[in-house]
Amino acid sequence: MPDHNVITEVARPARTSEHAICVNLTVNGEALRLMVEPWTSLLDLLRDRLDLTGTKKGCDHGQCGACTVLVDGVRINSCLALVVTKDDCSVTTIEGLVQPGGALHPLQEAFIAHDAFQCGYCTPGQICSGVGLLKEGRAQTAEEIREQMSGNICRCGAYPNIVAAIQDVLGQGEGAR
């Protein structure tokens, strides 16, 4: 378990300009102090600097949801968020949803049980968005779940299974936990 009182200094890479800004983030429970250029997106930081490649780059325009992560528990498109605007925030990626002891998050388990993915490219964003949706508590019916998840596109068409997985975690589906 990470020590939340220790800040890990992430070295300033050689390609960073003199315009770099110091930003403090907690990423998947690890406190980090980072030097970033003001135009660096959260998605690019996660993938390129922190090697958290579970978060996917889809459209890079905020239209597909493949890059969805949780910032302070709220789901966002990380391709549209500049790191400098997230100073002192907590970021949770798909890698950070693992429970203590290595158990999968209940929604990850439900995605497996309901075969809620095919190619898997959108799955990390779908799961992060679903976790945010569950936390928000606004979606209770299949119709509300579909509406609240509409920002996450699945080209394989696994939508019915994704809704079923979310309903399962809400306690409404077959085999509800």
* pLDDT for res 177: 39
Mean pLDDT across the stretch 97-119? 95
HSE on the CB side for 85, CA within 13 Å?
A: 12
* pLDDT for res 100: 86
Q: Is-contact 21 38, C-beta < 8 A?
A: yes
7-96 and 100-170, same CATH topology: no
Residue among 102, 144, 147, 104 nearest 127 (CA): 104
Per-residue pLDDT tens over the stretch 35-56 = 999 999 999 999 999 999 999 9
Give the dihedral sign, CA 87/69/77/46: positive
| Domain limits, the chain | 7-96, 100-170
* pLDDT for res 172: 77
- CATH, range 7-96: 3.10.20.30
**DSSP secondary-structure letter at 47?**
I
Helix (H, G, I), strand (E, B) or coil at 147: helix
* CATH level 3 topology of 100-170: DNA polymerase; domain 1 (1.10.150)
* pLDDT for res 6: 56
* pLDDT for res 145: 98
Residue 2: CB atoms within 10 Å: 12
Q: Which residue matches tokens 């020590």?
A: 3
Cα 55 from Cα 3, distance rounded (Å): 24
